[in-house]
Every structure is written in structure tokens, then in C-alpha cells.
Amino acid sequence: MKYKRILSGMQPSGKLHLGNYFGALKNWVSLQDEFECYFFIADWHALSSLYEDPQRIKEYSFEVAIDWLSAGLDPEKSTIFVQSEIPEHAELHLILSMMVPVPWLERNPTYKEKKDEIKNVDMSSYGFLGYPVLQTADIVLYKADYVPVGIDQAPHLELSREIVRRFNKLYNKKVFIEPGAKISDIPKLGGIDGRKMSKTYDNAIFLSDNEKLVRKKVQSMLTDPARARREDPGDPQVCNLYPFHKIYSSQAMQDEIASDCKTAKIGCGDCKKMLSQTMIEGMRPMMEKRQEILSRPGEVQEILREGTLKAHAVAKSTLELAKQTMKLK
């Protein structure tokens, strides 16, 4: 039986947090048994925000690999590799960039979102504007059938599909596959301060945090702003803690917390103590696996090396076909 192929990647622009895990990584782990999976560390993409301090990318790349393996990505089931180790990504990006109209890139919704979100770095570079072209090269090099995304991210994939259609029409051959969106439900998790959980906002609970740090961060989390006093009734639906209870706490505990919060039977401090306990219990297997992996760093490098070799063979074959179709060879 031939499995459909999945491809996705993450930028090593900092440590991974719970938003990354529940937004993508947890889903990747479950996809390994249903699809042929290719997952890559998008270190060239990370240059768009770390170009002033690029040496950090190598450090972050290794950390991302450890987080992936700790979370359950299995090199026996998935091909795990580093983008910059495969030069075909850059070459196909260059080729595609010659035929992509600038207005296509300027209307990309992510372009404005990221520019608004990242304030401490000048994001007005050519590389950042053109990142969807590199993203398209990343996808089509591996003839991916699907890219896993949340429902709100699906429109972003349409630009890659447009680029594929333009190339195939220009050269009258179906060289590249139009990638489909593999939609998954992504829980909306706020950071410690209630804003979107992000490395940029310094409000994240990281996958690498130890138990003590997790407790400290949960204790500092923003709760229902209308609940000024202990005896005031609260609203779990506007509290930053409750979405995490929905993930980590049992249904019975969720129901009890919701009821007791609304009647002021418990205070926010009580709620935080309960969440700290269930969150740590939920994260503990990953914490333990991480320590095990850290004791054998050479194995991580070997996994990346083997995955990169396998991915390179696929990318090389696809680029050769594209260049032959264009009569460049």
C-alpha cells in the first residue's frame, strides 16, 4: 500500500512552546501512522528574522530536533531533515521567483501579520516578502500531497497552489503536485499574559521548561480580569487558564472548576495550583524523554544526517525533472 505524502516544517527561531506543540507537533505525531511524512527544520526561513544574529539558528535547530523527538516524532516512521543541508531548496526557490508576480506576494495575509507581530526586527526584506516562494519550493520538491494546517491557515497554502499551476501551465507538463490542506483542529492557547503564546512576546511555556519553571509560569498567568476579589464570581470562558484545563484536566475536574469558579467557591490561586499539577503530569513523559535524548546528543545528529540524505535524493530527482521540462538541461 502506497501512503500519501505529508510535508511540514518549523523555523528554528527560538525554543518551542506549548502553542507549537498543540498547534502542529502533536498532530504531526499522529500523522506518522497514516502518511509518509517529511518534517524539516526550516533554518533558511529563520534567517528572515534572525539575519542579524544567524549563529543562534544552529543552536535553535538542535533544540527543535530534540523537542520533536521528545514529543514523539519517530525517525523510523518519518524523514526528519535540515532545510539548508539540501541546496535544491535554494535553487528551486530562485527558479520559481522568476515567474511569481510581486502582487501575489504582497497580498499574502501572513506577510502583514508577521510584520505587525515582530517589532524588534526590520521585516521589510526581499527574503521575507518572498518567503512563500521558498515555502512552495520546500513543498513541491518532495511531491507532497498534503500540508497539515489549521483552518485559519488554509488560505496561506493557496499561494503555493497558484505557483504550482503557473509553472505547470507555462511548461505544459504536470511537474509539481498542487498540495492539499490537511485540516486539523488547533486549540487557541494564550500566553502567560493572555496574548497569543509567542517567543516574541516572552509569554510562553516552553517544551524544555522543568517542573519548577512550569509551576512558576502558571502561577503568573492572567486570569478573568473582572474577578478583582476572591469572593467575586468568575467566568471560565474568558479566563486564560481554562483552555489549558480543557487539555490537561479530566472532564470531571473541568466541570467542577467551571462550577466552582462561577460561584466563587474557589479562587484563581486554587485553580492555578490544580492546573500546575495536571499540566506537569501531562508534560512529564516529554520531559523525561527529553532528558534521555540529551544524554545521547550524537544520536540526534545521526538522525538528522540520515534524514537529510534520504530527503536530498527526492529533492534532487524533482529538481532534475523541473529543469529538464524547462529545457535548462
Active-site residue list: 114, 196, 199
Which residue type sits at 189?
L
Distance of alpha carbon 48 from alpha carbon 51, whole angstroms? 6
Q: In what order do the strands lie in the sheet with 5-10?
A: 78-82, 36-41, 5-10, 146-150, 180-184
What grid cell was written down for 42?
A: 526550516
What grid cell was written down for 60?
A: 535553535
Distance of alpha carbon 308 from alpha carbon 302, whole angstroms? 10
Q: What is the DSSP string of 282-311?
A: HHHHHHHHHHHHHT-HHHHHHHHHHHHHHH
- The total of other beta-carbon atoms located within 10 Å of residue 94's CB is 12
C-alpha distances (whole Å) from 177 to each of 94, 158, 164, 242 are 19, 13, 7, 41
CB 26 within 8 A of CB 186: no
Burial (CB < 10 A; 0-12, 13-18, 19+), residue 127, is: middle
C-alpha distances (whole Å) from 328 to each of 137, 171, 234, 282, 317 are 17, 12, 66, 53, 15
Distance of alpha carbon 254 from alpha carbon 248, whole angstroms? 9
Q: Which residues of 279-318 are buried (b: 16+ CB within 10 A; e: fewer)?
A: bbeebeebbeebeebeeeeeebeebbeebbeebbebbeeb
What grid cell was written down for 280?
A: 506537569
